[in-house]
Amino acid sequence: MATRYAVPFQAFITDGAVITCAEAGRIATAGNTTLNLSSTNGAGDFTITLGSGCTGTVTSGTATITGSVLALTAGANTVTSNGAGDCTLNLTLGTAANTNDVNTWSLASGGVSGAAIPTATEDVVFDANSFTAASQVLTVDATLNVLDMDWTGATNTPQLSFASKSINIYGDATFILAMSVNGYLGSLYFLSTTIDQALTTNGQTIVGRIQVNCTGQKLTLVDGLALSASTIYHNSGEFDTNNQTITTDSAVIIQGAGVKVLTLGSSVITLTGAASWNYSGSNLTLNAGTSTIKLTGTGTFGGGGLTYNNVELNGTAHTISGDNTFAQLTLKADTTQTITFTDGTTQTITTPVFTGSSGKVKTLTGSGTAGWKVVNTGGVYVDNDYISVSYGTVYPEDIWYAGYNSVNTVGNSGWLWIPYANRARRSAGWWLLSRRR
């Protein structure tokens, strides 16, 4: 298994059979460099190989260069000298290079470029010899296949751009904070079918989709995952969030018929803006653990009939679909909210927290008039207030206290429209509702 090192934006000088250069090796400084040539037998050639993103010229000095001023382009350039002496290399380090270019890659760190483009069985490394000036951009201009991808040690705050393209990763991916990962409408595909995979962001916010497609294997988050304008897709394999925090302003989508395991542990997953949670596939095992899923904007919660731990709806309006089970479903306190339950669905909740407050009413309604249902399995009464309910049935009956400041709008069943504090107990064991005084 070979390793490919990224070496755009550099020049590499290789001695010839006759002509040798005191500056042979890597040059990573823009502008004029004096090349001091020696000759063992008069005229001869040496080679200047430019990495992608570079241009340059060689100008005669005391050594005459054939074709002076000789223009250099990316790749190997043969330079012919009439003998010993000096000449001038003027190197321009560009700001942009592409991955689908042999002149981007080397078999050694800082080595001569021209190695083959990486494949799915080869690691790619971005280190201190990969970027030679601030804010250079490496663009994925065609699908890039790699085994491990490691940016540890890269300098000069580089940018990885894979907009509308894919990086297919068959091993681990490690980013650094001092870079930019910009893959709007592009994807990082985790595709291994033979080994488990890991993603380390080191605090980097990724602009780009995360696609979990590691059939029969597992992708584990080593640290937190923050996405901007990007979606997490879980299509096959196991996705272990490893108790890490996840944030996205787009969506979490679990889809397809592939066998999937989602292990959340104690992770807190926050979906901002219009970001939604949506399970629309099959063959998923959800290990919810003690996790919390927070919707803070206007996103929908399509639970797909699974069992969740804690889900918090913290925005002004949310829709819940599917017959879901929650350890706790919480509507944010002191917030005016409209929660729409898809008609015909049942939410089973151990601890429902629905109460509003003065001027901050929770409107609980259906998507139509066919009705929706909530079942409490906590074994205790549910005490609410400042809610407005339409077409909602609650079960068991006689434990759901809506409160005096709530509104029985239309089509409801099972609610008690007083506070729990105003109940009285009959000797036969039935609750007797007392009047407010």
**pLDDT by residue, tens only, the chain of 437 residues:** 689 999 999 999 999 999 999 999 999 999 999 999 999 999 999 999 999 999 999 999 999 999 999 999 999 999 999 999 999 999 999 999 999 999 999 999 999 999 999 999 999 999 999 999 999 999 999 999 999 999 999 999 999 999 999 999 999 999 999 999 999 999 999 999 999 999 999 999 999 999 999 999 999 999 999 999 999 999 999 999 999 999 999 999 999 999 999 999 999 999 999 999 999 999 999 999 999 999 999 999 999 999 999 999 999 999 999 999 999 999 999 999 999 999 999 999 999 999 999 999 999 999 999 999 999 999 989 999 999 999 999 999 889 999 999 999 999 999 999 998 876 554 445 455 544 43
Burial of 285 (0-12, 13-18, 19+ CB in 10 A): exposed
Assess if residue 203 is contained within a domain.
Answer: no
Assess if residue 426 is contained within a domain.
Answer: yes
Residues in the chain: 437
Among 79, 96, 113, where does a domain finish?
96
Assess if residue 292 is contained within a domain.
Answer: no
Assess if residue 211 is contained within a domain.
Answer: no
Question: What is the reported pLDDT for 424?
Answer: 56
Assess if residue 251 is contained within a domain.
Answer: no
Assess if residue 322 is contained within a domain.
Answer: yes
Question: What is the reported pLDDT for 437?
Answer: 35
Among 40, 61, 96, where does a domain finish?
96
Are the C-beta atoms of residues 387 and 361 closer than 8 Å to each other? yes
Assess if residue 409 is contained within a domain.
Answer: yes
Are the C-beta atoms of residues 87 and 60 closer than 8 Å to each other? yes
Q: What is the 3-state secondary structure (H, E, C) of the chain?
A: CCEEEECCCCEEEECCCCEEECCCEEECCCEEEEEEEEECCCCEEEEEEECCCEEEEEEECCCCECCCCEEECCEEEEEEECCCEEEEEEEEECCEEECCCHHHEECCCCCCCCCCCCCCCCEEECCCCCCCCCCCEEECCCCEEECCEECCCCCCCCEEECCCCEEEECCCEECCCCCEEEEEEEEEEECCCCCCEEEECCCCEEEEEEEEEEEEEEEEECCCEEECCCEEEEEEEEEECCCCCEEECCEEEECCCCCEEEECCCCEEEECCCCEEEECCCCEEEECCCCEEEECCCCCEECCCCEEEEEEECCCEEEEECCCEEEEEEECCCCCEEEEECCCCEEEEEEEECCCECCECEEEEECCCCCEEEEECCCCCEECCCEEEECEEEECCCCEECCCCCEEEECCECEECCCHHHEEECCCCCEEECCCC
Give the pair of three-digit tokens for residue 243.
Answer: 């108790």
Nearest to 4 by CA among 159, 136, 94, 138: 138
Largest CA distance in the chain: 117
> In terms of residue numbers, what domain contains 18?
7-96
Assess if residue 49 is contained within a domain.
Answer: yes
Domain count, the chain: 2
Among 67, 96, 125, where does a domain finish?
96
Distance of CA 128 to the CA centre of its chain: 25
Q: At CB < 8 A and 24+ separation, what contacts does 57-60 make? A: 57/89, 57/90, 58/87, 58/88, 58/89, 58/90, 59/87, 59/88, 59/90, 60/87
Nearest to 126 by CA among 270, 8, 271: 8
